[in-house]
Structure 1
Amino acid sequence: MKQLIAFVVIVFCHSTSLYAQKFMTYNLRYDNPNDGLNKWELRKENITDLILKYSPDIFGTQEGLSRQLDYLDENLKNYSFIGVGRDDGKRKGEYCAIFYKCSDYKILDESTFWLSNTPNKISIGWDAVLERICTCALFENKKSGKKFWVFNAHFDHIGKEAQYESSKLIVKKIQEFNQCKYPVVLMGDLNLMPSSKAIKFLSKNFLDAHFQTEAISNLGTFNAFKHKEPVVDRIDYIFVDKSSNVKNYRIINDKLNGKYPSDHLPVLVELK
């Protein structure tokens, strides 16, 4: 009997572990040579080390330029990524890239759309000051066969109308793409506090992972490279559909050599 119980426990633990997946969102800060001691060349290894330390199954980045993403792609051996530059739909401008462990997942579909009234072409939306995009992909877990969508977005930092309309557009696009009602993870730098109209709209349609665990922190995500000051503004998010089980949520405030690797802190969730 003891052997049977042990066997059942082992099988149960193995089967549940297959469905526990880690997702991360991380604004890399674009490669700006005017960042001085915080420029990309001086912190790129720290970003790589942080990602490898927490080993997310899938993570989305914002602001990364092609040369930054190529560096990560070269140094994160078990990952591949998708995405396009927002300026030309190819390699020019900032990406909303999605990296994934290629040994464990495969992509069944992918797309990038612009946050505007004309999402299928390069464009600036509403009162935004820059082109903004959302990259998405339908994944399949190679072991379990489970399918799910990931959407990774970066909202405008100025236009209030654009921020709200972007949230409405993304919900519309999720409904359009996800005809089979697979689980959805929506992540990104939304440049908004939780009290904003756009975040409240998203929170009506999805669960803000921040509030789905007992350990709710007041820690924010935007540090502005102020390495010795409190981080209070939470503007980076991971939303999940209402059927998801959030096992863990964490804003990672690790410092390497006394500095944050980027001007944003990454957000990490574990979903089951």
Structure 2
Amino acid sequence: MIKSIFTIEIEMNSVSKHLFLLLFFFSSITIALAQKDTNTITVLTYNIYHGEDPANRGTSNLDEIAALILQYSPDVVAMQEVDSMTTRTAGVYGKKVDLVQELAKLTGYSGYFAKAMDYAEGGYGEGLLVKGEAIFSTQNLPIPHGGEPRAAAWAEFKLSNDKKIAIAGTHFCHEFEENRIAQVKEISKVAGQSNLPVIWAGDLNLRPDSEAYRSIIGTWKDAGSDPTPYSPTFGSLKDGPRIDYVWFDPSKFTLESYQVLDVPFSDHYPVLVTLKFK
């Protein structure tokens, strides 16, 4: 569905494209709201490749990502590789752009940017989009072996069924296993201190057979471990690695659905998970 829509868009002028997207957004919201179980929470995690189409460098991918979000209508979106007011965004958009706030405008969600590091005259890190109001915060993660600074974006918010939830979106180190193990420990520590049901998600740059994966202990459940244990999320859907995850506490939730979405807007594939409250 997504592919055919955006093939048609190529032939439209800019005004027609945005009108078409708006109509698509509102029709998608109506369908999603009609189908949604009020005792569930749906999470989308997506590495958005700093707001640029990897197959067409210099071109934005935000309209397509916004359409995807509004089609599936998740309660929360965790995003990685997010730029805020960088010269890199200026090269794509003609001016410096805060990608989270642009997506918040396009979707109607509340947005939060958690800066992991200074980059290109702006910031680089994680983003969260949440339906409704939320209390946001940033957790800085350890890098004992050095390398790029890393962070987690946290949100506490109330769902439409009045249940409260805490969620973290993060992006672990891509270079050193020692860093990833330390980052797992810190995320788990903060999550364990919450008195709310907790979900955490993101591009963890680790594979299911890694030491860092095995270091994730306690009550955490990998949403992709049972239904599709080898479903790739990066590079190729045929033989790429699985490095993007959603983790939850099985004493608080049961898994309703797990999908890796086949869309070409980044070098990663979005992971969509629906959990049901126990």
**Is the CA contact 1:222–1:231 (under 8 Å) kept in the aligned structure 2?**
no
**Is the CA contact 2:51–2:61 (under 8 Å) kept in the aligned structure 1?**
no
**For residues 13-64 of structure 1, what are the alpha-carbon distances to aligned partners after superposition, in whole Å with 9 as ceiling and x for unaligned?**
x9x921122111000012569x5x4336243322222222211111100011
Which of 120, 126, 137 is 1:111 aligned to?
Answer: 137
Specify the code of the residue in structure 1 equivalent to 2:56: N
Q: In 2 relative to 1, CA 217–174 (structure 1 residues): closer, same or farther, beyond 3 Å? A: closer
What is the distance in 1 between the residues matched to 2:208 and 2:56? 28
**For residues 55-80 of structure 1, what are the alpha-carbon distances to aligned partners after superposition, in whole Å with 9 as ceiling and x for unaligned?**
1111100011122223212211x211
Give the SS at the match of 1:65.
strand
Partner of 1:164: 181
Specify the code of the residue in structure 2 equivalent to 1:114: N
**For residues 83-108 of structure 1, what are the alpha-carbon distances to aligned partners after superposition, in whole Å with 9 as ceiling and x for unaligned?**
2322259x932221110112xxx32x
Q: In 2 relative to 1, CA 39–146 (structure 1 residues): closer, same or farther, beyond 3 Å? A: same
Structure 1: unaligned runs, 5 residues or longer:
1-13, 117-124, 255-259
What is the distance in 2 between the residues matched to 1:32 and 1:261? 8
Q: Does 1:100 align with 2:130?
A: yes
Partner of 2:230: 218
What is the distance in 1 between the residues matched to 2:211 and 2:254? 25
Between structure 1 and structure 2, the one with the greater Rg is: 1
**Is the CA contact 1:138–1:149 (under 8 Å) kept in the aligned structure 2?**
yes
Root-mean-square deviation over aligned CA pairs: 2.4
**For residues 107-137 of structure 1, what are the alpha-carbon distances to aligned partners after superposition, in whole Å with 9 as ceiling and x for unaligned?**
2x33211111xxxxxxxx2114101001111
Q: Does 1:72 align with 2:89?
A: no
Structure 2: unaligned runs, 5 residues or longer:
1-33, 85-96
Partner of 1:46: 64
TM-score by length of 2: 0.74
Higher relative strand content: 2
Partner of 1:196: 210
What is the distance in 1 between the residues matched to 2:115 and 2:270? 21
What is the distance in 2 between the residues matched to 1:190 and 1:50? 22
Partner of 2:254: 245
TM-score by length of 1: 0.76
Give the SS at the match of 2:209.
coil
What is the distance in 2 between the residues matched to 1:59 and 1:40? 24
**Is the CA contact 2:100–2:128 (under 8 Å) kept in the aligned structure 1?**
no
**Is the CA contact 1:218–1:232 (under 8 Å) kept in the aligned structure 2?**
no
What is the distance in 1 between the residues matched to 2:270 and 2:166? 20
What is the distance in 1 between the residues matched to 2:225 and 2:149? 31
Give the SS at the match of 1:210.
coil
**For residues 181-226 of structure 1, what are the alpha-carbon distances to aligned partners after superposition, in whole Å with 9 as ceiling and x for unaligned?**
x2111101000101112222225440001135xx426320011xx6
Identity %: 29
**For residues 134-173 of structure 1, what are the alpha-carbon distances to aligned partners after superposition, in whole Å with 9 as ceiling and x for unaligned?**
11111112x4321111011110100111010110111111
